[in-house]
A and B are shown apart, each in its own frame.
Chain A
């Protein structure tokens, strides 16, 4: 039982490049989330998926797109990376019975 996994762990992009961050969970959770965390700050919600086949915007969705590929996987795409998107990205999934979230280890992204 790996919990929530994210790939890659680190990534450096040039301005304008695109990339997809991958997230998968093996806990059979319905809801999944993408957050970003800037230095010294809390997490801000980018997008979330309450269930397979649905996605909704969070607090800071601009510049991102998501795909809920199936119940296990939820990907985050940056179509044209900007330096302002330099951050650590966390994926999480929710156990609805307990309302608690389980987090992946994060992806550290630098956009030059």
Chain B
């Protein structure tokens, strides 16, 4: 079973708009990470937020974490066609030293 579940499963927006996707998880975590996967490629790490952090920024990315609700969100501002990809959240627990991935959100940015 997957620890993280993303919502929505798919998202279609126009270039320049913001894209928001959510991730919910079930058990306590040490950190939560977001990855991007371009079609046919491996995953690329985007950003990590620790359990004691509430918000983090990296360029056009903004991640929030609410441990009381066991949820996170990823916001991509001013989207570009190159942001078209699948985005996955992954939860990390130090015990076991492994990540558990959600099912992903497929984002299409139309030029």
Query: How many angstroms from the CA of A35 to the CA of B90 in the assembled complex?
Result: 13
Say what secondary structure dominates the interface of chain B. Answer: strand
Say what secondary structure dominates the interface of chain A. Answer: strand
Q: What does the 1/0 interface line of B37-63 toward A look like (CB < 8 Å)?
A: 000111111001000000000000000
CB-based contact B104/A99 at 8 Å: no
Query: How many angstroms from the CA of A104 to the CA of B30 in the assembled complex?
Result: 24
Evaluate whether A33 and B98 lie within 8 angstroms (CB atoms) in the complex, with A99-B30, A104-B42 already known. yes
Q: What does the 1/0 interface line of A73-100 toward B look like (CB < 8 Å)?
A: 0000000000000000010101010111
Number of A-B contacts (CB under 8 A): 58
Query: How many angstroms from the CA of A45 to the CA of B101 in the assembled complex?
Result: 9
CB-based contact B42/A105 at 8 Å: yes
Which of B41, B92, B98, B103 has a CB less than 8 Å from the CB of A42? Answer: B103
- When C-beta atoms are compared, the residue in chain B nearest to A58 turns out to be B98
B83 to chain A, nearest CB (A): 19
Query: How many angstroms from the CA of A31 to the CA of B98 in the assembled complex?
Result: 9
- B residues less than 8 Å from A35 (CB atoms): 101
Question: Which of A35, A42, A98 is packed against the most chain B CB atoms within 10 Å?
Answer: A42
18 contacts between A and B (CB under 8 A): A33-B98, A35-B101, A40-B103, A42-B101, A42-B103, A43-B101, A44-B2, A45-B98, A48-B98, A50-B97, A92-B42, A99-B33, A99-B48, A100-B48, A101-B35, A101-B90, A104-B42, A105-B42
CB-based contact A99/B98 at 8 Å: no
Which of B30, B33, B40, B45 has a CB less than 8 Å from the CB of A102? Answer: B45
- When C-beta atoms are compared, the residue in chain A nearest to B31 turns out to be A99
- When C-beta atoms are compared, the residue in chain B nearest to A6 turns out to be B42
CB-based contact B45/A100 at 8 Å: yes
